[in-house]
Amino acid sequence: MASVLVVLMFLLTSPFLTVIDRKGIVNLPKASAATSQPGALREDAITVSVTRDGHVFYRDLEVERSELPARIWESIRGGAPIKVYVRADARARAGDVNRAIDEIQRAGIRDLVIVAEKANR
């Protein structure tokens, strides 16, 4: 009986875990010139993710692109550094990524980092 409850609990909570941890759905591109960005790991870091199917996430919450400027300024007013880390899936369409970047820049943000993994040589 206990094992059935554990399985049911996992099945019921796993969709919510996927919603909470959206950073795992982006396969980052690889770049030979990638540098370490420890600020991206801060709890208050402003991250915008673009999935391969064009969905946009502010931190771990799916949002409309047009919501990005307001959400970014809300975080900055809360004390977050004025730097945005863009996590775009390697297979995301350039147009989807560019439209997200346009919205970030509409918020007046000029310090923008495209997050990539270091390519193995």
Tell me, what's the pLDDT at 121? 67
Tell me, what's the pLDDT at 84? 97
Tell me, what's the pLDDT at 22? 47
Tell me, what's the pLDDT at 59? 92
User: Coil, helix or strand for 61?
Assistant: strand
Tell me, what's the pLDDT at 4? 43
Residue 16 to residues 30, 42, 53, Cα–Cα distance (Å): 29, 23, 20
**Can you give the pTM of this predicted structure?**
0.77
Tell me, what's the pLDDT at 15? 41
**Consecutive sets of 10 residues in the chain, 121 residues long: mean pLDDT of each?**
44 38 71 88 94 94 96 94 95 96 95 90 67
